[in-house]
């Protein structure tokens, strides 16, 4: 039995939440290993809709342990609000079914303020962030001035750590012409929530090691997608963490051999939120149709997603970078009724053809897609649970994608409902 890491293989929003929930029925532990509450997962279980941001998807399932790893940046206020929301839906969250890495970095209101100030500035690159403080928190983490979950257990030592943090932030605020922060107020805000968060704080690497030794199945849940990876994505229009499968080890506290199978989640077309290059973007009726049929609005932000044809060249690139063993193809049903479908197989940039998207924002912005045209289908794929339920043209589309991305399809998702899945290979058994 293989422990499985689930990552997005495009620009996020690929439908990871449903697949992670579907797999969590086979898992004992689900671990979030990077990102923050800018991630949004929507689960639909027996008609009940659960919207998660920080919490691992497994927490909605009785008997499944949820862990927030050290690679995640944690907004304590947002986390407590999310716990309250789920409890209103009948899901009980307590230290028995949720643990937070004691060495995870905290997101504070000052991080959100800085995020918003930068994004709203007249000069500089507009990334299109969610303004939730993710980037500034990661900056403080690598700058070795961030506050961590463990710090909340010793309030007497916090004032000196807050002062050290504010040396940096107040210098920035002065430069932006914004009032400086008072350390005493920052401390007071943390004092109120500290015991609630500390109740979940643990050395989760030990729990994971124990689970591994006991033969329990571990599911590593990624956020965003490979194309938003700070190293390998469409920089600078990326998130502030590593989203590739290798981060599952670093962001949880288990060694790299802990991940036995990497499942990449891939949407049957392409979407993107925020700024940055998007070679196959459609601004015509087909793009509008994809957005409407796919309900392409962000779980966290409500922002409308940009939509376009499937980009096989870019997905192949991201799968190889992330070491993906197999993919879950989601939202195939959104393509029902299109007369023809286009798949990007490469690019033309300044008169030269590429079978990958080169680094460099300027060249990426100039990329023109080279399309392969495929026949659409008039039949219905929605709610299909076997190959026999799919129109022949839909099967051809899936098989052609499999060839182009050079990676096998393990699952096909045909609706938001958890059980509407065609299983080709069980990742836990691979």
Question: Looking at the annotation, which residues are catalytic?
Answer: 13, 41
Q: What is the Cα–Cα distance from 283 to 178, expressed in whole angstroms?
A: 39
- Tell me how far apart the alpha carbons of residues 117 and 242 are, in angstroms, rounded to a whole number: 24
Q: Are 292 and 331 in contact (CB under 8 A)?
A: no
């Amino acid at each position: 039995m293989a422990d499985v890491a689930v990552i997005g293989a495009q620009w996020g929003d690929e439908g990871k939440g449903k697949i992670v929930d579907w797999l969590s029925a086979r898992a004992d532990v689900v671990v979030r290993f990077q990102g923050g509450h800018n991630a949004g997962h929507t689960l639909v279980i027996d008609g009940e809709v659960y919207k998660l941001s920080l919490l691992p998807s497994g927490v909605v399932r009785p008997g499944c342990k949820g862990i927030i790893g050290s690679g995640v940046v944690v907004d304590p206020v947002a986390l407590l609000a999310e716990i309250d929301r789920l409890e209103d839906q009948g899901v009980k969250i307590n230290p028995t079914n949720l643990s937070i890495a004691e060495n995870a970095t905290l997101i504070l209101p000052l991080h959100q303020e800085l995020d918003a100030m930068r994004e709203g500035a007249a000069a500089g690159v507009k990334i299109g962030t969610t303004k939730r403080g993710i980037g500034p928190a990661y900056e403080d983490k690598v700058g070795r001035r961030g506050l961590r979950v463990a710090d909340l257990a010793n309030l007497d030592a916090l004032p000196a750590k807050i002062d050290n943090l504010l040396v940096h932030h107040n210098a920035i605020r002065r430069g932006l012409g914004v009032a400086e922060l008072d350390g005493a107020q920052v401390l007071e805000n943390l004092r109120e929530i500290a015991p609630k968060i500390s109740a979940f704080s643990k050395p989760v690497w030990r729990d994971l090691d124990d689970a591994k030794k006991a033969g329990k199945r571990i599911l590593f849940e990624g956020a965003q997608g490979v194309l938003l990876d700070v190293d390998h994505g469409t920089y600078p229009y990326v998130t502030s963490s590593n989203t590739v499968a290798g981060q599952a080890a670093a962001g949880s506290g288990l060694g790299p051999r802990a991940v036995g199978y990497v499942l990449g989640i891939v949407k049957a077309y392409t979407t993107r939120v925020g700024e940055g290059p998007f070679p196959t973007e459609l601004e015509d009726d087909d793009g509008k149709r994809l957005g409407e049929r796919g309900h392409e609005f962000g779980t966290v932000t409500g922002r409308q997603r940009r939509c376009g044809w499937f980009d096989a060249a870019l997905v192949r690139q991201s799968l190889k970078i992330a070491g993906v063993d197999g993919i879950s193809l989601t939202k195939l049903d959104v393509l029902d009724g299109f007369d023809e479908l286009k798949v990007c197989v490469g690019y033309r940039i300044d008169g030269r053809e590429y079978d990958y998207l080169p680094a460099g924002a300027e060249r990426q912005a100039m990329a023109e897609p080279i399309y392969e045209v495929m026949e659409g289908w008039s039949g219905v794929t929605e709610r299909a649970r076997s190959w026999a339920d799919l129109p022949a043209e839909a099967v051809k589309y899936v098989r052609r994608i499999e060839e182009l991305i050079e990676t096998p399809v393990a699952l096909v998702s045909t609706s938001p409902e958890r059980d509407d899945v065609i299983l080709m290979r069980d990742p836990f058994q691979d």
